[in-house]
Structure formats: structure tokens, C-alpha cells
Amino acid sequence: MPTSGGHRGQARQTFPTTVDVTDLERLTAREREVLHALAHGETNRVLARRFGIAERTVKAHITSVVRKLELSSRIEATLVSLHHQDRLNSCDHPSLGAPESIAS
């Protein structure tokens, strides 16, 4: 396991922060929205209220994002979100290439 800083003798796990752009394009518009929102550190309940969907649906979207991007956890998805904020921001605006309809 790669190490970077930290205490002597302790290994730190590194997480993937980049994914192939074509993998991001495989996400639905709603999955991209949820992925983008993960960067703000909000709970599933807050995300559900923001998007007007059930908390269970938020969990399903996060699970789908993690699976499609071949990640291991929500934390990794959050790191990917932080790394790809510019690309995900452009998905919020139909004129910049986001699908016009949002499937939930």
C-alpha cells in the first residue's frame, strides 16, 4: 500500500480521484447531479430534500455512481466529485451539454 506522510510506519491508503471522462458520461443526469452534490458533504437526507426525492433514492443513485465508476465507497465518489467539479458543473447547464431531461 502506498504511503504518503503520516506517522512513521503507518501506511496511508490512496484513493482514486480521476476517472475516465467516458465513465462520467455513462452516468444519468441525476447521478451526475448527486455526484456533484457529494462534494459539499451533505447527508443523504439533505440531498433528498434538495432534489425532491426519497432518501432511499439518493442512496440508490450513490450506489449506482460507485458501481458505474468502479469505485469502492462514497468517500471515493466524493473525491472524484471534487476532482471533476468543473466537468460536473457543466452538466448542470443544458447549453453546456447536459441532457435536458432528468431521470430520477
Q: Cα 15 vs. chain centroid, distance in angstroms?
A: 13
Average pLDDT, the chain: 78
Q: What pLDDT digit, counting tens, does each position of 53-93 carry?
A: 999 999 999 999 999 999 999 999 999 999 888 887 765 53
Inter-residue contact 50 to 37 (CB < 8 Å):
yes
pLDDT for position 20: 77
pLDDT for position 101: 34
pLDDT for position 28: 95
Inter-residue contact 58 to 51 (CB < 8 Å):
yes
The pTM assigned to this predicted structure is 0.70
Confidence of residue 1 (pLDDT cuts 50, 70, 90): very low
Rounded to whole angstroms, how far apart are CA atoms 102 and 92?
Answer: 10
pLDDT for position 37: 94
The cell numbers describing 66, all together, are 460507485
| 19-54 exposure pattern, b = at least 16 Cβ within 10 A, e = fewer | beeeebeebbbbbbbbbbbbbeeeebeebbeebebe
Rounded to whole angstroms, how far apart are CA atoms 80 and 96?
Answer: 20
